[in-house]
């Protein structure tokens, strides 16, 4: 890979720098303050096109020359952008046929960025030309260490429905299907008599009166991804003519649904990602962890770069909450823990005008007299001590299946229930595993999964026969597979696999599904006799090799299997036929106080109220004192309660949990921990998964509260406390990276705090 890592040493720290919004005298202040904050990398020139090329073919690089030289003199390196996400006004005027058209046929106005058709040949020419000018001019500038092509492909113009796009789509279809007969077969066009006589007759899936061919919609979604990738490749290849520095473009994993980042993964030299917390969510730090794990997985496990996040509030959500004290630090270090070699923000200095003037920045409107600025400086100093983590890897025993095509397909119109939601199910499983302190990778269902102890497919509605075989082979070879309802239903064209549901998964799961019984809104059904509750979905499962672990005891499928297990030699395949909630111990991370600030040590009651009112998470919001006790004391008294058994031989040192497992297998063959409704956090999905994790031999820290994020990256252990109470973690010994203290035994992480321990001797 060309030239990665980008900096001679250390974690990259900085952000988007938009000096063109400021008079030049401010630039000198900027670089002085960047040095004070420990900034070593900025992304420059992202929105500069109209300044660099004020009229077609007329260039002015004076300002960019001066700022790059100034940064160079100050030792700040540059991630140099091509400005092609925001074409100049003259471009739009000169090429009206390059304008973006939405699904309803509206021509989208200018006065904003991303307002162009991704298939426009005029755009391709103009973007290629400016990229060439920039690359040839700055390729050997000593400040430039990497290239930042465009900005967030597909963020606001993922799909364009203009005639130029329609023509390009037809060419793409010719390439994919070969002849129109094959297209008709793939899309099932005999339905409603929608057969095409030629490719010329195909239109993009513009607004239709009623349900539209789903094959058409899926192929259009794929085509749109490829149109953006083609734009990226053009610029990347232009740059490569002049430079062998790494080329990236900033992804938006997982919050840009139209972009299939598995398709993008091989295109960039280093994966970089932008991530913004959803301020409406009390558990935003779990979604952040999911995003970081998915980004690492898209990067193939290699280190990646956090290209943007925020120091505080964004400006584009309905309610833009400032981050709580300590939250920026926790967020930043969580990204590093999960594989990022950079902590970069949008943006360096807060804008005074334009659409984003209320967005936080490293240097806020309040200036250097602010707590935020102090935090930015402190974070820079801490990251300076974390350099040895760079390049190291995160290893995971568990993988979650994530497929953007399944995401798209599941959410097309006319499904059995409007409550089917790809993100909801993936996040439920992810949260349950996060709260069990299990770090996961994400995988495409066709990927090599043989190295994982457990693979979970939470929402694999669209699953090709080849991918299903991959999952089957995995379980047969001794792997442990968990599949959630409404998976394995259709192929890549959204055609139902033949025979009873779940088509291509019937054999591996050892069952079939005779009828779906989606539940009414807010309806629940009980299963088992240990307090498990299903939402959204029930269905009639017929066993064919699998055995029932839990039956529905209520609802349309009462007396029939709800959780099943199919033993396959050394491996097994489980099936969960309803939506179980992850359940939590009780403390809510978003309210973690900053112990260094007196006024913040008390929980924020307004936030607590929000949490308590969140009925979807409902039953476990009251903290369980018995569990907190486990967190701060070592019930086994052996000083090693939190250790990972695979690494230290402490296979199960939490008596409470050991007791569950020691109950043995229940009458249906699953280890007894599935019955641990009495243990805090053990109900619902967590309880089910805990039993399966044990069966699959997945080691993990024991006896910790579920607000403590525990991640191992190479020789470093990151302990991030999202809760209100101090947490003592036993069995992690080594050197504290931030305080240089030796930790021979227990490490106590303060509320809201982060401790990073580098293990002695790199063991
Ligand atoms: C990103 C974008 C930045 C800025 C930021 C604000 O999506 O790349 O340019 O707009 O959002 O949160």
- Which of 426, 173, 471 minimizes the C-alpha distance to 287? 426
- Nearby residues of 401 by Cβ (< 8 Å), 6 or more positions away: 442, 443, 444, 445, 455, 456, 457, 458, 460
Kindly indicate the confidence band of residue 683, based on its pLDDT and cuts at 50, 70 and 90: low
Kindly indicate the confidence band of residue 279, based on its pLDDT and cuts at 50, 70 and 90: very high
With the most atoms of ligand 1 within 8 angstroms of its CB, the residue from 150, 277, 308 to mutate is 308
Considering only CA atoms, which residue is closest to atom 12 of ligand 1? 314
Worst-scoring range by mean pLDDT, 37-51, 455-469, 600-614?
A: 600-614
Q: What is the spatial order of strands in the sheet that 716-721 belongs to?
A: 708-713, 716-721, 754-758, 734-736, 742-743
**Token pair 């700055």: residue:** 138
| C-alpha 363 – ligand 1 centre gap (Å) | 16
| C-alpha 14 – ligand 1 centre gap (Å) | 15
- Our answer on whether the CB atom of 453 is closer than 6 Å to any ligand 1 atom is no
DSSP secondary structure string for all residues of 388-439: GGTT-----SEEEE--HHHHHHHTSS--S-TT--HHHHHHHHHHHHHHTT--
* pLDDT, tens digit (0-9, with 9 covering 90-100), for 147-160: 999 999 999 999 99
Q: Give residue 530's pLDDT.
A: 76
- Our answer on whether the CB atom of 152 is closer than 6 Å to any ligand 1 atom is yes
More confident residue, 530 or 663: 530
With the most atoms of ligand 1 within 8 angstroms of its CB, the residue from 15, 113, 149, 152 to mutate is 152
- Our answer on whether the CB atom of 308 is closer than 6 Å to any ligand 1 atom is yes
Asked if 361 contacts 345 with a C-beta cutoff of 8 angstroms, the reply is: yes
pTM for the full predicted model: 0.90
Kindly give the residue spans of alpha helices, DSSP state H, lying in 455-587. Answer: 465-476, 506-509
Considering only CA atoms, which residue is closest to atom 3 of ligand 1? 346
Show which residues are catalytic. 152, 308
Mean per-residue pLDDT, 573-593:
73
Considering only CA atoms, which residue is closest to atom 11 of ligand 1? 346
Ligand 1: nearest atom to the Cα of 315? 12
With the most atoms of ligand 1 within 8 angstroms of its CB, the residue from 85, 256, 274 to mutate is 274
- Our answer on whether the CB atom of 360 is closer than 6 Å to any ligand 1 atom is no
* pLDDT, tens digit (0-9, with 9 covering 90-100), for 130-188: 999 999 999 999 999 999 999 999 999 999 999 999 999 999 999 999 999 999 999 99
- Our answer on whether the CB atom of 151 is closer than 6 Å to any ligand 1 atom is yes
| C-alpha 259 – ligand 1 centre gap (Å) | 16
Mean per-residue pLDDT, 672-691:
59
More confident residue, 61 or 644: 61
Average pLDDT, the chain: 88
Q: Give residue 9's pLDDT.
A: 87
Nearest 5°: CA angle at 546, between 542 and 552? Answer: 55
Radius of gyration of the chain (CA): 27
* pLDDT, tens digit (0-9, with 9 covering 90-100), for 376-422: 999 999 999 999 999 999 999 999 999 999 999 999 999 999 999 99
| C-alpha 346 – ligand 1 centre gap (Å) | 6
């Amino acid at each position: 890979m060309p030239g990665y890592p980008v900096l001679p040493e250390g974690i990259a720290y900085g952000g988007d720098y938009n000096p063109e919004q400021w008079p030049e005298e401010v630039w000198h202040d900027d670089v002085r303050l960047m040095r004070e904050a420990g900034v070593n990398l900025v992304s420059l020139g992202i929105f500069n096109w109209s300044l660099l090329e004020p009229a077609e073919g007329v260039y002015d690089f004076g300002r960019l020359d001066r700022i790059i030289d100034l940064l160079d003199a100050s030792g700040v390196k540059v991630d140099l952008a091509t400005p092609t996400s925001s074409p100049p006004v003259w471009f739009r005027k000169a090429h009206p046929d390059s304008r973006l058209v939405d699904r309803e046929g509206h021509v989208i106005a200018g006065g904003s960025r991303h307002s162009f058709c991704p298939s426009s040949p005029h755009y391709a020419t103009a973007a290629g030309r400016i990229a060439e000018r920039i690359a040839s001019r700055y390729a050997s500038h000593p400040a430039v260490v990497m290239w930042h092509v465009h900005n967030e492909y597909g963020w606001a113009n993922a799909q364009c429905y203009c005639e130029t796009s329609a023509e390009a789509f037809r060419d793409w279809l010719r390439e994919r299907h070969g002849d129109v007969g094959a297209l008709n077969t793939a899309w099932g066009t005999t339905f409603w008599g929608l057969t095409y006589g030629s490719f010329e007759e195909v239109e993009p899936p513009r607004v239709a009166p009623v349900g539209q061919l789903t094959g058409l919609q899926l192929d259009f979604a794929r085509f749109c991804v490829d149109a953006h990738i083609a734009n990226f490749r053009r610029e990347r290849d232009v740059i490569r003519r002049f430079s062998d520095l790494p080329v990236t473009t900033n992804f938006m994993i997982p919050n840009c649904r139209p972009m299939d980042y598995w398709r993008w993964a091989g295109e960039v030299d280093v994966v970089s990602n932008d991530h913004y917390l959803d301020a409406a969510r009390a558990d935003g730090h779990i979604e952040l962890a999911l995003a970081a794990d998915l980004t690492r997985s898209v990067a193939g496990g290699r280190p990646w770069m956090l290209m943007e996040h925020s120091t505080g509030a964004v400006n584009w959500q309905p309610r833009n909450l400032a981050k709580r004290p300590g939250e920026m630090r926790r967020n930043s270090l969580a990204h590093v823990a999960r594989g990022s070699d950079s902590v970069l923000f949008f943006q360096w200095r807060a804008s005074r005008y334009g659409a984003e003037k209320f967005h936080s920045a490293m240097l806020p409107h309040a200036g250097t007299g602010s707590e935020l600025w102090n935090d930015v400086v402190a974070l820079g100093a801490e990251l300076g001590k974390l350099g040895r983590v760079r390049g190291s890897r995160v290893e995971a025993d568990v993988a979650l299946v994530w497929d953007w095509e399944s995401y798209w397909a599941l959410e097309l119109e006319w499904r059995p229930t409007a409550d089917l939601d790809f993100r909801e199910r993936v996040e439920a499983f992810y949260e349950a595993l996060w709260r069990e302190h299990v770090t996961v990778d994400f995988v495409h269902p066709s990927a090599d999964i043989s190295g994982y102890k457990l693979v979970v497919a939470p929402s694999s509605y669209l699953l090709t026969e080849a991918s299903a075989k991959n999952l089957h082979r995995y379980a047969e070879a001794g792997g442990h597979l968990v599949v959630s309802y409404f998976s394995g239903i259709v192929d890549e064209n959204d055609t139902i696999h033949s025979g009873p549901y779940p088509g291509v998964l019937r054999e591996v799961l050892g069952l079939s599904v005779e009828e779906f019984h989606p539940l009414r809104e807010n309806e629940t059904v009980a299963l088992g006799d240990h307090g498990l509750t299903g939402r959204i979905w029930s269905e009639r499962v017929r066993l064919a090799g699998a055995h029932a672990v839990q039956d529905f005891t209520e609802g349309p499928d009462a007396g029939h299997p709800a959780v099943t297990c199919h033993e396959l030699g050394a491996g097994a395949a489980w099936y969960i036929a309803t939506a179980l909630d992850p359940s939590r111990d009780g403390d809510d991370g978003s309210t973690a106080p900053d112990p260094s600030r007196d006024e913040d040590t008390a929980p924020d009651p307004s936030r607590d109220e929000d949490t308590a009112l969140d009925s979807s998470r409902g039953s476990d919001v009251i903290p369980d004192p018995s569990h907190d006790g486990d967190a701060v004391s070592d019930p086994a008294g052996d000083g090693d309660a939190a250790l990972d058994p695979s690494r230290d031989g402490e296979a199960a040192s939490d008596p409470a949990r050991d007791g569950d497992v020691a109950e043995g297998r229940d009458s249906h063959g699953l280890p007894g921990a599935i019955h641990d409704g009495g243990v805090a956090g053990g109900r619902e999905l967590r309880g089910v998964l805990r039993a399966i994790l044990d069966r699959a031999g997945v080691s993990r820290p024991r006896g910790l509260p579920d607000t403590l994020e525990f991640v191992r990256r190479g020789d470093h252990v990151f302990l991030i406390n999202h809760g209100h109470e101090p947490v003592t973690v036993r069995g992690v010994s080594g050197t504290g990276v931030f305080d240089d203290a030796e930790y021979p035994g227990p490490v106590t992480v303060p509320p809201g705090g982060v401790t990073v321990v580098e293990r002695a001797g790199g063991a």
